[in-house]
Amino acid sequence: MPANQPATRTRLSERAPAPGTLEAMKRLWTPAWIVRHVAMVVLVVGFLGLGWWQLSRAAGGNPISWGYAVEWPVFAGFVVFVWWREVRQELRGPEAPGPAAETTESSATVEPTRLAVRRPVRVSRTAATVPDSNDPELTAYNRYLRWLTDNPGARPGDYPG
Amino acid sequence: MGAALTRYRVIAWIVGVVLILLMVIGMPLKYGFDYPLVVETVGQAHGFLYMVYLVAAFDLSRRAGWPLSRMILVMLAGTVPFVSFFAERRVSGWVTGQATTPEPVANTPVH
């Protein structure tokens, strides 16, 4: 771990064990997770088997099977991708940490990416600072610009109107 | 979120229509009238379109923060003929419902 890690990093690691350790692996060995692992293996083996079957059909003179022979392995790969993402999300930390651990500091460290894609929720009502001109179009545009500055993470398409 | 929902809805509609074409027109033509051309072409297209559907559903559920179970449910719903349209409506309801509740109310004039 680099030396410039913030202090909140250690607090995070108290709740979420470091990836690769036995403690972290135990979290992936609950009944719910075993079901997911088994489902992943079954689906991947099944999809690859179907792909192999289509490949043999294609080799046997059914040209339309070439497409299916490509599609099934892609679906198998997608299953692995979703499984891997879930595993990483599980190892990153609990979804709902305890109320004592829920400080503004740590939540800002734990889920910056989640916050980045969320819509801005609470905004102070600062319409009074927008000077009302006689042109309603200009006023609306000023409000729009004000909204954009109030919501730095927002995209123009998120403007509620 | 709005753009992801739109992407999902568009591809869900396309996949639903193609799936119905496959089931209602292609299958009877192949197995009833020995005319497999529709199944061969539309079936191929459906496979690749369903990949796009999976990606769109994955993207949407990631942005919405859904649990894995709901994501898989949405993905599987795209494989059922006719039901996929109802599923798409339900998904849109989930997303817009949760999006409108904390709608930002910036710059409403305060009197």
Indicate the pLDDT class of residue B107, thresholds 50, 70 and 90: low
A151: nearest CB among B2, B44, B106: B106
Nearest-CA distance B86 → chain A (Å): 24
Cβ contact B51–A71 (<8 Å): yes
Q: How many CB atoms lie within 10 A of CB A29?
A: 9
Give me the pLDDT at residue B97, please: 75
Cβ contact A71–B54 (<8 Å): no
Question: If interface means Cβ-Cβ distance under 8 Å, which residues of chain B face chain A?
Answer: 1-3, 40, 43-44, 47-48, 51, 54, 58, 63, 65, 68, 71, 99, 102-110
How many cross-chain Cβ pairs, A to B, lie less than 8 Å apart?
70
What ipTM describes this predicted complex? 0.75
A144-159 per-position pLDDT tens digit: 888 888 887 777 777 7
Which residues have C-beta within 8 Å of that of residue A39, sequence separation ≥ 6?
none
Indicate the pLDDT class of residue A105, thresholds 50, 70 and 90: very low
The DSSP secondary structure of A26-86, one letter per residue, reads HHTTSHHHHHHHHHHHHHHHHHHHHHHHHHHHHHTT-TTHHHHHHHHHHHHHHHHHHHHHH
Residue B54: list chain A partners with CB under 8 A: 75, 78
Indicate the pLDDT class of residue A9, thresholds 50, 70 and 90: very low
Q: Which helix (H) or strand (E) holds B76?
A: helix B68-77
Residue B99: list chain A partners with CB under 8 A: 119
Residue A64: list chain B partners with CB under 8 A: 40, 43-44
Indicate the pLDDT class of residue B110, thresholds 50, 70 and 90: low
Cβ contact B107–A127 (<8 Å): yes
Distance CA B7, CA B63 (A): 13
Does A35 contact chain B (CB < 8 Å)? no
Give me the pLDDT at residue A43, please: 92
